[in-house]
Structure formats: structure tokens, C-alpha cells
Amino acid sequence: MAKTALVVITTGSEEIEAVEVTVAGLNSAGNTVMSRNVVFGAEKSLKDALASAPFDAIILPGGLKGAEAFVESEELGEVLRDQEKAGRLVAGICAAPTALYRRDLFLGKSLTSHPLVQERMTAGGKYQYKEDRVVIDGNLITSRGPGTALEWSLAITAFLLGQEKADELSKAMLAK
């Protein structure tokens, strides 16, 4: 059976860090203006996408404005809590890991984020913060920002499909 992933976007999400799977708008389906004014089409609203749950992965692209919307979304917070409890993958990049902090998710895990939100992520000692480009701790994969998006994507691929598949894709893209 194919692995499934849900990518949640909102106005201000970073488009270079997203993957094309089921793309759900945090608040609605339709066009969403990303952080660099690129317009992405969300296939479904988050609420509608959840009818197809569970997903093997929930992927949160970065972008400060988008991450702030993720932090404020009660619905997304519950989805992430369910994903953590079930041991399924949550992957966040750039400022997106702040959504975990707000909900006290993945407490004690190692993670990283964009340096602009590092102080917030280290407050209260909730996490083992690392400045690595990509941090993998069980079913949590985090990364720093646009410059690390490819490595982050390959880590997600390895988690879902195995290291051999990730290596195959990396080679085909001339990433290494």
C-alpha cells in the first residue's frame, strides 16, 4: 500500500519546502499565497482532508507567517497530537516546529528550527535543541530552512520508503 502524507499550508507558508501530496489549506481549499507570493492550490481544506486520515506523515512547511497560523490552529494542534500518539511521522521545517511548542508535543525530543525562532523553541527546556541541518528523533523530523529543504525531504523519504529509495532519489537529483 502506498504511503500517504498530508501537507498543510496557509498564507505565508514557504513554498520551496512543501511536497506535492495531499495539499490541505489550513482554513480552506483553493489558492493560497505563499511567503514569496507564489500561489499554491490547496486541494482540500484541512477539515476535508482529515476524512482520508490517518496519514503516514503530516508535513508542515515553514514561513514565519504560516507557522504563526499553525500555532493558532486548534484543529491542527489536535491532528498533530493524534499523529504523535499514534507514532506516525510529523515533519516540520523553518518556523513550523513552533506549532509543536505551543501544544507541548514531542516533549524531550531533539529538534531544530530556523534561527529566528530558536529562542522560542529553547524556552522552558521542552526540547533538546540542535543546530544540525536536519534532526531526526523517532517519528519527528525537523530542519532549519529553505537551504536545508532537500536534505529534509530526503530524510522524510527515507523514513517513509527506506534509505535505499532516498539514496536513489538523491542520486537522480545529483544532490550528492
Residue 106 near residue 90 (C-beta atoms within 8 A): yes
CA atoms within 13 A on the CB side of 67: 25
pLDDT of 21: 64
| Segments of the chain with pLDDT less than 70 | 1, 14-21
pLDDT of 14: 63
pLDDT of 16: 47
Domain membership of residue 30 as a residue range: 5-172
Q: What is the per-residue pLDDT across 48-77, written as a single tens digit (0 to 9) for each?
A: 999 988 999 999 999 999 999 999 999 999
Q: What is the pTM of this model?
A: 0.89
pLDDT of 1: 64
Report the catalytic residues: 94, 114
Tally of structural domains, the chain: 1
CATH of the domain at 20: 3.40.50.880
- Cα 34 to Cα 29: distance, rounded to the nearest angstrom: 14
- Cα 105 to Cα 87: distance, rounded to the nearest angstrom: 12
